[in-house]
Structure 1
């Protein structure tokens, strides 16, 4: 056998399975290492969801793993604002003592937590609850509160869970404020889109003001004026009602309150609404008729409407389209689905924040009120904050207000891989292992009928000086001294004996000790964790979730090949490319509705009132001073989330150009490749200009993922592009869920002044 033959035979073993971490899909990939470098990357054909698919962004992941921004020591802020390195023992002791003092002096509810993991970085968040509950902290938020809480509130009213379309088999696919060609969000997105576009029996309908990559593929593009999605969606639903396109049998058998909804929709003036939203009335009617006649319809809403005016109302209206036409619980339609680790508490109970009284939907404080919950002299204001794998000083609206608020805190701790914009405001920064240096997973398990879970094994040891988040949280809980280690000894012995012995001992221990019940992830990490294969101790928390999944979906778990929770957990741990954890049948959808009658409750009085009010409601929020709608944070081919701090991964659009229409460029005197100044009520910034036929007059966009500082190999600091939230305002938000209007910012755009050289 030649050397080449030997190398070829060994090659498959060189590829290690893991996942991409740049969007919610977390596609399976396999990686070849060169030392600590991710040298080669390709799709993992063994991954049950992505099946070898990946987009171009995953191929650049070494820019995350090996970048100059990595932290390798805990950092403590000095009185002058600079930072010094300290050892782990000192950091843990001082942080635990500091939070303990805050809890004793003001109450644990004055400690605020932001995070739970970036994309695909969720196991740490599973352990944070042990530390927070031990202190009495319960207020939290994360990036989902900038996007999905309005939809989650509507979902809770309608059926009590989250739905996802089965686009792979849908006859008609509808994308609202969504460009899946670029943003992905469901398995094998581009493959599925191409299949739809090539099949003459299938149709794609896109509602978007921009001629996106997906819109170019669509059979019908409803090019709505920015911010008027509510009118086009109400008009579509009205056509369904007025032209008798409803599935009457489905409504009679599976829906309550439909008649009240239909009565309201029958009063809608479709022609007037078409004028208001700028979409031809006949195109609206044709799209509604196509939806009404289809055997199956799947719908996807995303940030284009979730971060714009009337966002919660738009979520309700888009669900009317598929509920009224009976597109639920059948192949190619919408589905409720199983969940391994729920992202939301889908409940009708909406709490209120302690200072501003803003709605807390799904257990998450609206991101736009976070600064107001900290600044001032209100006795219930937050006094301390923990940020985990998130960068709210950059990602939340009105970055200046966030910086002021975070700087006012008595104690702020950030856990992250890099010295982020948020970390530079903290009293302590704890360096985490990267996502490829520890066991990790994602809880975006959203598919039906087959749902998947992927525990990723580490590719390499943690970088020296860093720790995985589960170990960081465990050390913090130990430092609080809330658990007597002797209580854990019986569990350790049982874990070493067998899964069955551990199950019995665990149930006995937590039933007899209230504190152990509060810190369950810590208990699992300390007792079950050491018995798991090397590098997988952080997966211990998944044992509890596996038990819950097996109890919640017993038949679906068994169909997937797992006899019980222990069998499911063992399959997760032993399958580095991921597993299918539930297999549902279509009629299971009705059992997943949480209402006692297992019917969709369509009548939402608040939303029906909003539909009635549309006939007189404001359709635009621009002014003579700020005449253009700016979409702040557009996803493009070379944009990603904030974990990509090194800008050299981008092959195009290195500066994050401002996209403007041909008409606006001519009117404003802008030149392609030139510079423009963007001004809003919140701030101003300069960007390069890209003149694009994709944009409507009066509409401009800036990409996401820019405005992050980076020090290159020569020691020079760079901040490429515009940080979008230097231009957004925390006052622009949805009245029901508090989600921000990042995609609808009134702005003024003008040529940038030419620098004067002396």
Structure 2
């Protein structure tokens, strides 16, 4: 479904989780103009500068146009689709039959704008009996999800900050000026900063763009956020600034938490984190007297020491002052579909089979994946399917991942380009781009109004490519999963009416419940042909709409949809997207998933770590690695590796290493100097940028660097520094396994250029 060239078409930006609505002018297969979509229910015309450059993704030089198979000598040869599907199906079934489906691992199925593929992958995984999976959330958010589950009943009880109405907005390890994370971020930040009755608080080692706007910037030493948060909490308790009535009415086990916080040595913790005690106390008092407080954490603490503890502490801040289930506070949002991983159909335990790592929301911690492969353990991983992801570049310790991938019996990569991971694969399957197919994301994270957008293709797929939905349909068919199922009655019911189809579908699942895991492909083949031409992949959203309506019937009805079919029809019809749920703030209490609808304030697994902060040794200066490197800072000139073409950057082409003026002077370097970065994980070179936002001893590299890309001479060139050549897989949170990308001990060596 495309429209006439020369007219603006509605779609969405695919560069971050906000997926702002955009309108795109397409001319000769190029995205020549991009503007914000004012009709989008969430972004309302808002757009940052990065979306203007989306043509660098759509028309990158390294787009794939044919399936590839690795030869014995390591090179690739082009093969046709029938051969690729047949050989991959046979190879994976052979591994399943010999070693069990649990030996086949799935990574990805997402990216920032590419989620429908993940729903179809579940059918392939079910056919194989695959059990374990992961994606980027497992190196970012799973610690926070685990804390949500402990406090509110289940990890799906995720909270949304209401910054638009908050009196005090707090950002911990987050720079929303560049990372966004909530609708219309820059507009909202400027509104709060310019209102004398409101307040911005930023906890971050760097004087980021957001910190420069803030009334309070707590410039902590890298990795000491737990001490800062504990000092704020200690002040709230010791100065009796907590909302005792809220705690009594809505929480359990508050007393042990309050007792522990009453013992926090606030002055010592403030000194430990490098912030004046008076500033810590002033911030605590400002939070306490506010009518509403909204808080958001991000990778700055989620990928640093004490990360899961930090997630608990930042949530305690808003809970102790009662800023929950209210306007301007924190609320549990609805969702169109779960972001967590699901089983492929086999039985999954709560830990991984080799290392015993904790699995949270169905996702294996990314840092343990190599250890689940590089072993002689009988239950080791032997095959992987990687889809819309580049773990050989984006996960900690790239060298270790390259070694692990080389040890697999089969690695299949499904992607648009020959990524760093695809170069290691046995088979590479080329997909249509995100603007050449029907697509959507499930980052439906807002409250009180939550929105969802289905994107129609702007262009026909490149010849030789297929959308992931068709790839998985072919794999499922090639593996014989539906050979014994007569889908003709279901297809006939779909042609008659949606109501008859629902009855027929439920009847089939009732008699053959094992087919529920194959529902995406069944919907694709039976309901899909009744949808707009080429839109078969959207059939899975009919099932998702049914589940959404069953989970949130009143909220969906308040949004104007009397039933699931009306919701599905609106999803198909409205190109700018729809508001699919509308809530009152009291709805948050109904969404608590604890038996008594009360918050379980204490988390025993983290209490010992909190108490232990008081006796944790002060880190001594390590002469081998005297700096702390933040590997993967978000900047105006950095993005996720969906942008492989470096020409999209207008500045900072090589991704400079930022350091403070004091450190630059000590090292005898200046902006433009070349240095070597050395860590336990490896070494790399980078160009220096002296930046007054960095504190002494703290340096940063942007995300997205170090990709190989075709050059003008017909070869390839690596642009910038790959951060994960410097990180180490063993440096991770003890509980959630999230990596310490933002806290990498490093040495910086000046390079003398001749």
TM-score calculated relative to the size of structure 2: 0.97
Shift of 1:496: 1.2
Counterpart of 1:612 in 2: which secondary structure? helix
> 1:11 Cα shift?
11
Conserved in 1, the CA contact under 8 Å of 2:6 and 2:26? no
Which of 158, 161, 172 does residue 168 from structure 2 map onto?
Answer: 172
Q: Write out per-residue CA displacement over residues 507-556 of structure 1, whole angstroms, 9 at most, x where no aligned residue.
A: 00111113322211111111111111123211111111110110111100
Say yes or no: does 1:702 pair with 2:701.
yes
Distance in 1 separating the partners of 2:169 and 2:674: 39
Contact 2:151 2:600 in 1 (8 A): yes
Task: Say which SS state the counterpart of residue 188 (structure 2) adopts.
Answer: helix
Matched, 1:187 2:180: no
The answer for the alignment partner of 1:155 in structure 2 is 148
Moved more, 402-411 or 663-672: 663-672
> Is 1:567 aligned to residue 563 of structure 2?
no
Residue 378 of structure 1 and its aligned partner are, at CA, apart by 0.9
- The verdict on how the C-alpha distance between 1:430 and 1:622 changes in structure 2, with shifts beyond 3 A counting, is farther
Conserved? CA contact 2:638–2:704, under 8 Å = yes
Aligned counterpart, 1:6: none
1:350, 1:359 within 8 Å by CA — same for their partners in 2?
no
Within a 5 Å distance, the mapping from 1:661-680 to structure 2 comes to 661-680=660-679
Aligned ranges 1:492-511 → 2 under 5 Å:
492-511=491-510
Residue 177 (structure 1) shift: 0.3
Does the C-alpha gap of structure 1 residues 421 and 319 become closer, same or farther in structure 2, counting only changes over 3 Å? same
CA distance in 1, matches of 2:289, 2:439: 44
1:121 paired to 2:114: yes
Change (3 A) 1:691 1:409: same
Distance of 2:93 and 2:751 partners within structure 1: 51
| Superimposed CA distance per residue, residues 50-73 of structure 1 (whole angstroms, 9 cap, x where no aligned partner) | 001010000000000001010000
Summarize the Cα distance change of 1:644–1:195 in structure 2 as closer, same or farther, 3 Å threshold. same
Match of 2:337 in 1: 341
| Residues 66, 430 of structure 2: 8 Å contact kept | yes
Match of 1:331 among 327, 331, 336: 327
Partner Cα separation in structure 1 for residue 417 and residue 336 of structure 2 = 29
Deviations 1:554-613 (A, max 9, x none): 100000011111111111011111001100111100001111111111111121111110
Q: Counterpart in 1 of 2:62?
A: 69
Work out the CA distance in 2 between the residues paired with 1:545 and 1:281: 50
2:40 is matched with: 47
- Inter-partner Cα distance in structure 2 for 1:253 and 1:671: 58
Q: Deviation at 1:242?
A: 1.0
Paired residue secondary structure (1:702)? strand
SS in structure 1 opposite 2:719?
A: coil
Partner of 1:4: none
SS of 2:460's partner is coil
Q: Distance in 2 between matches of 1:625 and 1:606?
A: 33
Contact 2:477 2:483 in 1 (8 A): no
Match of 1:526 in 2: 525
> In the TM superposition, what is the alpha-carbon distance from 1:13 to its structure 2 partner?
8.4
For residues 531 and 485 of structure 1, the distance between their equivalents in structure 2, rounded to whole angstroms, comes to: 23
Matched position secondary structure for 2:525: helix
Is the 8 Å Cα contact of residues 354 and 380 (structure 2) preserved in structure 1?
Answer: yes
Shift of 1:715: 1.4
Q: Which runs of 4+ in 1 moved over 4 A?
A: 10-13
Aligned residue pairs total 745
Range with greater deviation from structure 2 (29-38 or 513-522)? 513-522
Gaps of at least 5 residues in structure 1 are 1-9
Deviations 1:694-751 (A, max 9, x none): 1111100000000001003431311111000000000100000000000000000011
In structure 2, stretches of 5+ residues that fail to align are none
The one-character-per-residue Cα deviations of 1:171-225 (angstroms, maximum 9, x if unpaired) are: 0000000000011111100010111111110000000000000000000000000
Which whole-Å CA distance do the structure 1 matches of 2:341 and 2:240 have between them? 35
* SS in structure 1 of the partner of residue 486 of structure 2: helix
In 1, Cα distance between equivalents of 2:497 and 2:416: 36
**Cα distance between partner residues in 2 of 1:352 and 1:195:** 45
Deviates more, 1:419-428 or 1:609-618: 609-618
Asked if the contact 1:155–1:346 (Cα under 8 Å) also holds between the matched residues in 2, the reply is no
* Partner residue, 2:14: 21
* C-alpha displacement of 1:621: 7.4
